[in-house]
Amino acid sequence: MAIYVTGDPAVDGFVSTDAFALVIAMVLDQQVPLERAFSAPAALRERLGVELDPAMVAAMDPDALREAFSARPALHRFPAAMAERCQRVAQVIVDRFDGDAAAIWTSAPDGATLLKSVRSLPGFGEQKARIFVALLAKQLGVRPPGWEAAAGPFGSVGSFVSVADIDSPDALERVREHKREMKVAAKSVAHLAPTPGRGAKKR
């Protein structure tokens, strides 16, 4: 099984087979297009000139890593902040999983443990952690008992709400459309919300 996001077989294949690259892609999947986030690990490997490894990234000079992220075209909208976050993630993998990114899920006996392990990574809030659990299950066949509950709504069959559901160009477009609809809905709610102080009774 393989992840389909960028449409480039080499890039998608890299994040499908390299656990640390996949984790980095998920870290970067924030405030940038999906394709940009998931192509960044391959670009980072090329810029560093070595295979990505948690121990190596954790031990890197922070300035050198920031430079690799910031070189044009930058790997993220906020390259310095994301370089720091990825280095922190690498350190957690070294400290908690013996430097093996795949152990985040291969060592999890059930979905609840998997969700807890993912949540322990810097930058993984509740929603992102559940999306990652769903992605592992739907796209890579990582399905410990209870993964559906751990994934929450993102684990639903036939949904097109996150990167976990993308396995083709059509699915990618459907997920994009869902995200557009969510943004429009959020803006509508914000527009309708009363302005603080407005409508207050005068004394």
Residue 130 lies in a domain: yes
State pTM to two decimals: 0.87
Residue 154 lies in a domain: yes
CA separation, residue 45 to residues 52, 75, 87 (Å): 6, 11, 14
Q: What is the DSSP letter of 142?
A: -
Residue 92 lies in a domain: yes
Residue 146: closest CA among 111, 95, 192: 111
Respond yes or no on whether the N-terminal peptide bond of residue 169 is cis (omega within 30° of 0): no
Element (H, E) at 134: helix 126-140
Residue 99 lies in a domain: yes
Q: Per mean pLDDT, which range of 60-64, 115-119, 151-155, 168-172 is the poorest? A: 168-172
Task: Identify the CATH number of the domain in which residue 26 sits.
Answer: 1.10.340.30
Residue 119 lies in a domain: yes
SS3 string of 28-84? HCCCCCHHHHHHHHHHHHHHHCCCCCHHHHHHCCHHHHHHHHHCCCCCCCCHHHHHH
Q: At what angle do helices 62-70 and 79-97 cross, to 10 degrees?
A: 130
In the block, residue with structure tokens 């299950």: 137
pLDDT of 203: 45
Domain count along the chain: 1
Residue 174 lies in a domain: yes
Residue 3 lies in a domain: no
Residue 131 lies in a domain: yes
pLDDT of 158: 82
Q: What is the spatial distance between Cα 88 and Cα 85, in angstroms, rounded to a whole number?
A: 5
pLDDT band at 178 (very low <50, low <70, confident <90, very high): confident
Looking at the predicted structure, is the pLDDT value of residue 181 above 90?
A: no
pLDDT digits (tens, 9 = 90+) for 115-145: 999 999 999 999 999 999 999 999 999 999 9
pLDDT of 192: 63
Which residues span the domain enclosing 107? 9-192
In the block, residue with structure tokens 């490997």: 45
